[in-house]
Chain A
Amino acid sequence: MDKSSSPSLDRTDPAAGLLPTFAACLIALVVGFGFVYSATDRGRAFTTENLRRSEVARQPVSIPDFTVFDASGGKQSLRDLLTHGNRVWIVDFVYTRCQTVCSSLGTIYQQLQSEIVARGLQGRVGLLSISFDPANDRPASLRDYALRMRMHPEAWRIVSLDQTQDRRRLLDTFGIMVVPAPLGEFEHNAALHIIDREARLVRIVDTTEPGAALELALSR
């Protein structure tokens, strides 16, 4: 092992030569932890999903305007849909061909729907599923999905993007990343998105807490 060392310092006082090293170590630690600190929202969010959620909680995101169509084929602007009727919305992203993970999300929405209908909250909260597979999810697929999920239109609606090229911007706005999975399926970060009356994304709630999402929506 080649132990090169500064010639005169070592012979008198080994520790004296260590000051530059210790200073460099300290600077490295401060800079390094500084980067980690800023990249993880002050050490609280190590995953992109958690970062996305804390960012939205700090700063609401305005939903851009897209043209969407619903199960009946009728087209309208997404912003109009969200702002009409003065309701708060709980939005999730789906694709109707999903056989696996989405079934749990569908069940959650069914439970939310029952709760909303039972408590007569249709005027205050709406459930909206947006398809991120507009190429495949045309009105017929949306109709099938609505029937399968037993959607009550006044409580829970499903829409799909009219222009496939809007898909990227929609997913980016919400922070959704779609990863292809085997058998033509998709994996994506699923969550409950709370949209306020001004069509702004204000909170993102984990799918394991639908009750909390509903209470949040009601409190807006």
Chain B
Amino acid sequence: MRVAQRRRWLPAVVMVGGAALSLPPLRPLIEQSMVWHMLVQMPLLVLGGWLVAGHWWARQAPALLERFNRFGLTGFIVTTLIAGYWMIPSSIDRAVVMPATDMAKIITLWLCGAALRHSMQRAPLLVQLFFVGYTLPMTVWLGLYYATTDLRLCNAYSLESQFAAGKGLVVLGCAAGAVWLASLWQRQSQTAR
């Protein structure tokens, strides 16, 4: 009973927690550190969307979405485009400086997580592999670039912050890959039984 209750509010907490980082008491965290912005807030927002979508669509996702997201194709494309947009240095700067852009970031990253969940639920292994095989190396490559370039890419963050964020992105990319492989292994051992 307690587990089920915790499961019910956890998605909302994660979702709102991610958004709360953009608001006054916590905002200086993301304004001063690229690590907090890119590696804490953004993944939290995506995770929030993922969990809420999983919760709302636990039994049956709306049939309309199903028509437009066969094999999870559309969802993966949407996820990649949204995540890619928010990795562009000028977008990150804009989100720090302009509240309207920050709001757009929060909403689109929530949608990104939801789209990812919907697609992961229905994509065959091959489609998942294409998606993961594209986005994770892209994330790791971007992280390596951020960690090694002398050029300060974001006007809003120091070079130190950029280096740390880059290293963190590499770790995040590898960790996400490991989680995905683990989920495949788990599914494999379940079907084997």
Contacts and interface: CB of A to CB of B under 8 A. Distances in A.
Interface string A167-192: 00000000001010100000101000
B89 A39 contact: no
A105 to B, nearest CB: 14
Interface string A1-40: 1111110000000000110111111001100110110011
B68 A21 contact: yes
Nearest to B191: A1
Interface class of chain A by DSSP: helix
A47 interface: yes
Interface stretch (B14-22, B73-81, B170-178): B73-81
B90 A21 contact: no
Contacts of B68: 20-21, 23-24
A21 B122 CA distance: 13
A204 to B, nearest CB: 13
Contacts of B82: 32
B121 A46 contact: no
B135 interface: no
Instruction: Using C-beta atoms within 8 Å of the partner chain, give the interface range for chain A.
Output: 20 to 34
Contact of B158 (A35, A46, A48, A181): A181
B91 A39 contact: yes
Nearest to A49: B155
30 contacts: A1-B187, A2-B121, A2-B122, A5-B70, A6-B63, A6-B67, A17-B67, A17-B70, A18-B70, A20-B67, A21-B67, A21-B69, A21-B71, A25-B74, A28-B77, A29-B81, A32-B77, A32-B81, A32-B85, A36-B81, A36-B84, A39-B91, A46-B89, A46-B90, A46-B153, A47-B89, A47-B90, A47-B155, A177-B97, A179-B158
